[in-house]
A = this chain, B = another copy of it.
Amino acid sequence: MSIKTKGQSVSFTIQNALILVESGYETTAVQVVDNCISAIALQNTSFNSPSYQGENSPLNSPPYQGGARGGETVIDAKNKLLLPGFVNAHTHSSEMWQRGIIPPLPLELWIAELYDFTPLDTEQIYLSALGTAVETLLSGGTSVVDHLVLIPGQELETIAAAVSAYQEVGIRAFIGPLIQDASLTAGMPAGDTGIEHAAYIRSTQATLDLMKSAIEQFHNPEKGVNILLAPTGIQLCSDALFQGCIELSDRYNLCRHAHLLETPAQKKLAQEKYGCSAVEHLKQIGYLSPRTSLAHCVWLEDSDIAIMAETRSTVVHNPLSNLRLGSGIAPVLKYRQAGVNVSFGCDGAASNDGQDLLEAIKIGSILHNITDLDYRHWISPLQSVEMASLGGAKGLNASDEMGSLEVGKKADFVLYDLTSLSLLPRTDPIGLLVLGRPTNAVESVWINGRQIVGSGKVTTIDVDNLRQELFDRSEWSSKRQSPMVSEIESHYRQVMKLQGYS
Contacts and interface: CB of A to CB of B under 8 A. Distances in A.
Contact of A356 (B366, B369, B437): B437
B378 A426 contact: no
Nearest to A438: B354
A128 B427 CA distance: 14
A131 interface: yes
A473 to B, nearest CB: 6
A125 to B, nearest CB: 13
Nearest to A377: B104
Q: How many copies does the complex hold?
A: 2
Contact of A323 (B367, B373, B470, B479): B367
A199 to B, nearest CB: 30
Contacts of A438: 354
Interface stretch (A3-11, A204-212, A253-261, A428-436): A428-436
A362 B219 CA distance: 38
Interface in A92-128: 96-106, 109, 128
Given A104-B379, A370-B329, A99 B432 contact: yes
A498 interface: yes
Contacts of A437: 135, 352-356, 359
Interface in A375-400: 375, 378-381
Contact of A476 (B97, B374, B418): B418
A364 to B, nearest CB: 11
Given A352-B435, A476-B18, A498-B374, A131 B326 contact: no
Nearest to A349: B436
B424 A474 contact: yes
Contact of A353 (B25, B264, B436): B436
A325 interface: yes
A235 interface: no
A438 B105 CA distance: 22
A353 B434 CA distance: 9
Nearest to A359: B437
B424 A373 contact: no
B478 A430 contact: yes
A407 interface: no
Contact of A470 (B425, B436, B467, B476): B425
A100 B370 contact: no
A370 B428 CA distance: 32
A100 B471 contact: no
B471 A419 contact: yes
Given A352-B435, A363-B363, A421-B135, A326 B369 contact: yes
B100 A431 contact: yes
A269 to B, nearest CB: 16
Interface in A123-141: 128, 131, 134-135, 138
Contact of A100 (B101, B128, B134, B428): B428
A453 to B, nearest CB: 14
Nearest to A96: B425
Nearest to A298: B370
Interface string A293-330: 00000000000000000000000000010111111110
A476 B428 contact: yes
B101 A424 contact: no
A428 B431 CA distance: 34
B378 A476 contact: no
A439 interface: yes
A99 B496 contact: no
A294 to B, nearest CB: 20
Interface in A434-463: 435-440, 463
B326 A373 contact: yes
A476 B373 contact: no
Contacts of A24: 477-479
A470 B424 CA distance: 6
A104 B366 CA distance: 8
Given A106-B375, A324-B435, A463-B421, A426 B479 contact: no
27 contacts: A25-B478, A99-B427, A99-B431, A99-B435, A100-B423, A100-B427, A101-B428, A103-B380, A135-B421, A135-B437, A138-B439, A323-B367, A326-B370, A326-B373, A326-B375, A352-B435, A356-B439, A363-B363, A373-B498, A419-B471, A424-B471, A425-B470, A425-B471, A425-B474, A426-B474, A427-B474, A439-B439
Given A373-B498, A419-B471, 5 more contacts: A101-B431, A324-B435, A326-B370, A354-B437, A424-B474
Interface of A: 18, 20, 24-25, 96-106, 109, 128, 131, 134-135, 138, 264, 320, 322-329, 349, 352-356, 359, 363, 366-367, 369-370, 372-375, 378-381, 418-433, 435-440, 463, 466-467, 470-471, 473-479, 496, 498-499
